[in-house]
Amino acid sequence: MARSQGVNQELSQILNQLWNLDSNRLNPGTDYKINLQGKAGYVAQGSNYAVDKARAPLFSHVNLDKLKSIETYAHFINLLDNYEMSTGVSETVTSEELKENHVFLDAILETEVMKCAHKYLVSKGQSPSDQKQFKRQLYDIWFHLYHRDRSGGEDSCGFEHVFVGETKHGKEIMGLHNWIQFYLQEKHGHVDYKGYKARANKDSPDEDDHVLNLQFSWKGLVKPIGGSFIGVSPEFEVALFTIIFLTSTEKMTTAVVKVDEYVLEIVVYRHGRSIGTSYPKLLSSNNRDL
């Protein structure tokens, strides 16, 4: 499957530039601490039962004051409570929430990470060089509301799916690939971390890894495996997924990249001109369970 694909050198190069520019990335062991515990087991398709291989939360410590003192994180956290988690239930976007979307985009556009991503996308002919038009493009990709569930109104958008998470017919978890949301939901008692996913013992993750494959339950529903960056800034994720999204026209794009020490498969689904979902997958994960 994915392993036969070679590493995409050009994408790896630009993503490493973003990685090196991500000055807002938090430091494992000091800004936050994770507790990996046991290796998660197999969950049958459609089942919401998982053996809990982790008695304690994934995050044993996060410096929330530091988090909230960084502008992009603070504005990102403001967006997390703006969504209705169930698909099929129309989203109501208040003017306050619209403003929060714009404030978040304005903040990330000021970062070196997004400036670098913008420059790259302009060089590829995928984005307008004008900053205002680029922001509009980002808005369409991430915040444009669309129908995910045919039975309802405009119930979803890329940002909600990827970063906040949704449930489908109250039976399965979709999205929720963001570590800050994971941590906050865990803190509120909504998320229960069940263990990490890895193929073999030699692939066991470390506490300072910035990419993990996790198993967890959220409000009673189980996610058998979900890939997530850990400790990276919101602008890094937005930049990375936007680049993969815009440099492909496929309904589903997978790109194998080497970022820092990680060989990842980045998966991006398109929903018209918007992101349907996007997430990283450590290539040493157990494909049988995906």
Whether 124 is catalytic is no
- Residue in 158, 195, 207, 156 with CA at minimum distance from that of residue 178: 158
Element (H, E) at 109: helix 95-109
Tell me the C-alpha distance between 196 and 214, whole Å. Answer: 5
Whether 271 is catalytic is no
Return the structure tokens found at 286. 């157990």
Q: In what order do the strands lie in the sheet with 211-218?
A: 191-196, 211-218, 221-229
Annotated catalytic residue within 39, 75, 118, 161: 161
Annotated catalytic residue within 39, 75, 118, 177: 177
Tell me the C-alpha distance between 135 and 118, whole Å. Answer: 10
- Looking at the chain, the number of H-run helices and the number of E-run strands are 9, 10
Annotated catalytic residue within 39, 75, 194, 223: 223
Tell me the C-alpha distance between 12 and 265, whole Å. Answer: 11
Phi, psi of 32, rounded to the nearest 5 degrees: -155, 155
Whether 258 is catalytic is no
Tell me the C-alpha distance between 192 and 210, whole Å. Answer: 20
Within its chain, how far is the Cα of 267 from the centroid? 10
Q: For the packed helices 234-246 and 9-21, what is the interaxial angle rounded to 10 degrees?
A: 160
- List active site positions: 161, 177, 223
